[in-house]
Amino acid sequence: MRTFGVEEELLLVDAGTGEPLPAGDWAAALQEDDTLTGHQVTEELQEEQLEVVSPPQTTLAGQLTAIRAGRALAEQAAARVGGRVVALPTALGPVSPHPVPGLRHRRIATKFGLTASEQLTNGFHIHVGINSRAEGVAVLDRIRVWLPTLLALSANSPFWHGDDSGFASYRYQVWSRWPTAGPTDVFGTPDAYHRYRSALLDTQVPVDADMLYFDARLSDHHPTVEIRVADVCLDATHAAVIATLARALVETTARAWADGSPAMPVPATLLRTWSWQASRSGIAGELIDPATGAPAPAGDILIRLLHVVGPVLAEYGEQSVIESGVAQILREGTGAQQQREAYAERHSLGDVMAAALDATHQVPPGPSTAGAPAPGHPEWDASLQAAIQGPVALEPLITEPLIAEPVTAGPVPPGPGIPDHPEDDAPQGLPAVV
């Protein structure tokens, strides 16, 4: 079973005002290097950010526990500097971010001007283990057509500089200003991937390899594929569902490659429009169907994705809970809809921040937390340890299934590019949408 881990970038805000707080490097420096859970709390590009790196997991339940524990640790670090962390991909109101001190960040700020100075954005990065670089490149070539769907499912950034942007994920629009951001073409071989990477670095436009901001890439530090397209999610449960879907997609496409199924030759320039549509509408409207290249209701595209990864989810024992989790997101909306609903009653961004903080740190059903120690209180460490070691509640996910029968039973008729048995039929027809 493939391991998978996540990195969450979180907005650091003043505990009293809710305004972005430029103290990220200080908060990260005060956090102990070693934690009970194997998490790391680190600085990011801007002082108004903290990043949480979670240890690898093998199950949805473990991932959900890790995400909740990581947020609690980041909250602990923020409390030491008078702040809190909130899972918002963009600040709600106008803000002038402060680059974290250091030569690299100074170079980025100087070279990229307004693009860098406005770049206060928080993503959700999913690392999935691979067996070789060849397998990793094959996975990159085959997951790319589904990355806009993962973006839509995570969409959580409707506000920009105090206004509703009209987008479900405006973070993706801002992030796409970087010259190396976005989808990539099919590589075919590890050599082609590395030639492309070297050609970009030879231009000396990116200051280093860490600035190769592809929607998905091979990690330089771990034997993983790193999927970087998603917004950080308000709800930890949504984040765990998306990470688990991504793991299943990697496994599915790795098997398709091993069976000889070719990648879909969709140009990166075309994929960029698919991602734009996902960023604009999220799951509230239409997405581009990888099987046809035409718009279709977002729910239909998600069912198609579940059909593709269904055999792996079933093998891992996570099919029903993932189907229920996706159904919940479709029913209740992503973080973008939740933010807009919080704003609607009084047209108050303060209400949005309050709701976002609550959603970021919501705990599973259980004994009342009234009177629980606040971050920074001497009893907080003991409270955190107990929470980490306690049971994981998945009941909020298990409500009603997305469809009446398991996805693999065939509720979605195969469209062009999705044969009934992609592992057998793909080489003879159009490439399977894997």
Q: What are phi and psi of 4, to 5 degrees?
A: -150, 140
Written as six digits, the tokens of 276 are 């734009």
Q: In the predicted model, what is the mean pLDDT of residues 116-135? A: 97
Q: How many domains does one find in the chain?
A: 1
**In this structure, is residue 272 part of a structural domain?**
yes
- Checking if the pLDDT of 381 tops 70, the result is no
- Checking if the pLDDT of 32 tops 80, the result is no
Question: Tens of pLDDT along 316-366?
Answer: 999 999 999 999 999 999 999 999 999 999 999 999 999 999 999 997 653
**In this structure, is residue 104 part of a structural domain?**
yes
- Checking if the pLDDT of 161 tops 60, the result is yes
Where residue 326 sits, what CATH number does that domain have? 3.30.590.20
Place of tokens 């079973």: 1
Percentage of the chain lying above the pLDDT 70 cut: 83
Q: Which of 9-18, 180-189, 367-376 has the lowest mean pLDDT?
A: 367-376
Burial class from Cβ neighbours inside 10 Å (0-12, 13-18, 19+) for residue 256 reads buried
- The pLDDT confidence band at residue 407, using thresholds 50, 70 and 90, is very low
What's the mean pLDDT when you consider all of the chain? Answer: 86
Written as six digits, the tokens of 390 are 């306690």
- Checking if the pLDDT of 428 tops 50, the result is no
d(CA 186, CA 410): 29
**In this structure, is residue 371 part of a structural domain?**
no
- Checking if the pLDDT of 61 tops 70, the result is yes
Question: Tens of pLDDT along 76-93?
Answer: 999 999 999 999 999 999
**Domain boundaries, position 147:** 4-365+391-417
Q: Which of 195-209, 210-224, 392-406 has the lowest mean pLDDT?
A: 392-406
- Checking if the pLDDT of 375 tops 60, the result is no
**In this structure, is residue 329 part of a structural domain?**
yes
pLDDT at 403: 36
pLDDT at 433: 60
Q: In the predicted model, what is the mean pLDDT of residues 150-173? A: 98
- Checking if the pLDDT of 273 tops 50, the result is yes
Q: What are phi and psi of 343, to 5 degrees?
A: -75, -30
Q: Which of 72-86, 225-239, 405-419 has the lowest mean pLDDT?
A: 405-419
pLDDT at 21: 98
pLDDT at 374: 37
The H or E element spanning position 227 is strand 224-231
How is 70-116 classified by DSSP, letter by letter?
Answer: HHHHHHHHHHTTTEEEE--SB-SS-----BPSSHHHHHHHHHHHHHH
pLDDT at 387: 32
263-272: b or e for each residue (b if 16 or more CB lie within 10 Å)? bbebeeeebb
- Checking if the pLDDT of 227 tops 50, the result is yes
**In this structure, is residue 233 part of a structural domain?**
yes
